[in-house]
Amino acid sequence: MMRRFVFDNRWVGKEGCEEVVRKAWAKEFRGSRWFQSLFEGDHCDKDEVMGLERELDEACGEEEKYWRLRSKEKHLKDEDKNSKFFHMSTKLTCRKYLILGMEDGEGPSKTGADNVEAIVLDYFRTIFSANELCHPELVTTHVERRVTEAMNQRLTRADSSDEVKRTVLEMPADKTPGPDGMTQQSSSCCESYPCLPHS
């Protein structure tokens, strides 16, 4: 299965990035030699070593940004050398959401992705299928109505574009990519690229 595209904040401000984007959008393109061209040359001198050390520092910063993006932590800033913390936070979050087994009411717990999937699908098919023995009017006639018609209209109305915009702008800029994989931060840094989508 192909992974969904998500803008990577490590690309922001990278030398040559804008040129790569322009070339990629100008024609069909299957890869980039941009990164390889940074390392051309077969001799090593002091300036090259210092340049490589600088690139290594930048790569460490980029790795930290990557793990910060993957983790759910919001109170720490970039460049704090917290990559290990962000990595562990992400691993713990993934472990927290991992379902190893499930009971279906017919005996011992069943393990394995196929068994868990079958139990979940069966459960939701059961609760969302129409049951001829169910008569909701028997319950609703005895329950006092608490939601007025005016309240119901307010609760069920469509969200306005201002409400949607306000909600989206309250999200952290480097989290929650849209359906196109672009985050708010990627949209703001790519405004100079007319070929990229903007929110």
47-106 per-position pLDDT tens digit: 787 888 888 888 877 877 776 676 655 555 555 555 666 667 777 776 777 788 888 878
Nearest to 189 by CA among 65, 80, 74, 72: 65
- Could you tell me if 86 and 73 are in contact, meaning their C-beta atoms sit under 8 angstroms apart? yes
**Cα dist. 133→11, 104, 105 in Å?**
59, 22, 21
Q: Which of 40-44, 61-65, 131-135 has the least mean pLDDT?
A: 40-44
* Residue 45 three-state SS: coil
Q: Looking at residue 157, what is its pLDDT? A: 92
How far apart CA 62 and CA 18 sit, in angstroms, is 17
Query: Is the pLDDT reported for residue 34 higher than 60?
Result: no
Query: Is the pLDDT reported for residue 199 higher than 50?
Result: no
How far apart CA 10 and CA 57 sit, in angstroms, is 13
For residue 94, the 8-state DSSP code is H
190: CB partners within 8 A, 6+ apart:
21, 182, 196, 198
What are residue 101's phi and psi, to 5 degrees? -160, 170
Identify which of 53-57, 114-118, 149-153, 180-184 has the greatest average pLDDT: 149-153
- In one letter, which amino acid is 90? T
101: CB partners within 8 A, 6+ apart:
109, 110, 111, 112, 115, 116
183: CB partners within 8 A, 6+ apart:
6, 7, 9, 173, 174, 175, 176, 177
Instruction: Give the residue-averaged pLDDT of 191-199.
Output: 51
How far apart CA 125 and CA 123 sit, in angstroms, is 6
Cα angle 120, 125, 129 (rounded to 5 degrees) comes to 155
Q: Looking at residue 28, what is its pLDDT? A: 55
